[in-house]
Amino acid sequence: MKITITGSLGNIGRPLTILLTQAGHDVSVISSNAGRKAEIESLGATAWVGSVSDSDFLTTAFAGADAVFAMTPPNFGGSNIINNTILAGKAIASAVQAAGVKRVVMLSSIGADIPAGTGPIAALHQIEKIYNELENVSVSFLRAGYFYTNFLGMTGMVEHAGILGGNYPASVALPLVYPADIASVAAEALQQKITGNNILYVVSEVLTPEKATAILGNAIGKPNLPWVSFTDEQSVQGMVQAGMTEEMAGLYTEMGAGFSKGLIQADYEKQGSPVIGSTPLDHFAKEVFAKAF
């Protein structure tokens, strides 16, 4: 099969590219960074350098593809984030239609069933709607859990304050996912021929922040590392002080509030809280998180 991947060689794109090239597929990887070209080619894939907001470029890159892995970049543009992410989603969808692609696997998120109150996930709600309107295209929506790698953004908090924390309680159930598990599910889905659209929840483990903090703390020699719940105001202030824009800090705080209220994980739990990922947080804690210190 000829398969095109958007999202460059990130935490999902790299393992996905490796899985597909090793399976003998003709893989192309789209990246906005020309510096990635040699690295992409070293994995046995073809590099396309350009923007995922450029539908003409994408149409050319998608030409002849049997399937496309569609991933809109996180934190897209740094400002007007929701709108810019939706515009990128529209560009990808337009190119899929123009190039005649029949199979798409889209990276979405838990909470994408909700139109608002979910922070950056709200953009994925709109993009799912756009993809659902594509004609003669079968789409699998991978609604992923909260990435393990998001905990890497809290290493400064651990080092300077001796805590982990967020604006949601220690007792809330968080559907978590290891990015490489998403790649494995995506690789399988891209090779499947289905009729119509479907939704797959991709979660590796469901843990409370209290339990996750204990696992991460043990991995770095801090078995008593506590989880501290912040107010929304404290959450925004802390992220801005750490260098995040106010817009992004506000969106992440809204997402945290969505978890706290149970809104984001509600449909996932309604579906029976399926776990199809195979990598426990303990593996990430020892192999990735601990090495960040």
Residues 183 and 19: beta-carbon distance below 8 Å: yes
Residue 270 identity: K
How far is it, in rounded angstroms, from Cα 290 to Cα 43?
Answer: 27
For the chain, percent of residues with pLDDT exceeding 70: 99
Express each pLDDT in 19-63 by its tens digit: 999 999 999 999 999 999 999 999 999 999 999 999 999 999 999
pLDDT at position 58 is 98
> What number is the average pLDDT over the span 115-144?
97
pLDDT at position 73 is 81
For residue 107, give the 3-state DSSP assignment: strand
For residue 207, give the 3-state DSSP assignment: strand
Its sign, for the CA torsion 240, 246, 251, 257, is: positive
Give all domains of the chain, ordered by start, each with its CATH number.
Answer: 2-144+178-201 (3.40.50.720), 205-292 (no CATH)
What's the pTM? 0.95
Region for residue 152 given its phi and psi (left: phi exceeds 0; alpha: psi -120 to 50; beta: otherwise):
alpha
Residues 13 and 7: beta-carbon distance below 8 Å: yes
39 Cβ partners below 8 Å, 6+ apart? 9
Task: Kindly write down the DSSP assignment for every residue of 136-198, as one continuous string.
Answer: T-EEEEEEE-EEGGGGGGGHHHHHHHS-EEESS-TTS-EEEE-HHHHHHHHHHHHT---SS-E
pLDDT at position 242 is 86
In terms of Cα–Cα distance, which of 259, 216, 247, 252 is closest to 235?
A: 252
Query: How many CA atoms lie less than 13 Å away from 124 in the CB half-sphere?
Result: 26
- Quick one: tokens of 266? 């509600």
How far is it, in rounded angstroms, from Cα 190 to Cα 17?
Answer: 12
> What number is the average pLDDT over the span 83-91?
94
Residues 135 and 273: beta-carbon distance below 8 Å: no
pLDDT at position 243 is 87
Q: Long-range contacts for 124-127 (Cβ within 8 Å, ≥24 apart)?
A: 124/72, 124/85, 124/89, 126/86, 126/89, 127/72, 127/85, 127/86, 127/89, 127/90, 127/93
pLDDT at position 193 is 87
Express each pLDDT in 231-288 by its tens digit: 999 999 999 988 889 999 999 999 999 999 999 999 999 999 999 999 999 999 999 9
Q: Residue 78: pLDDT above 80?
A: no
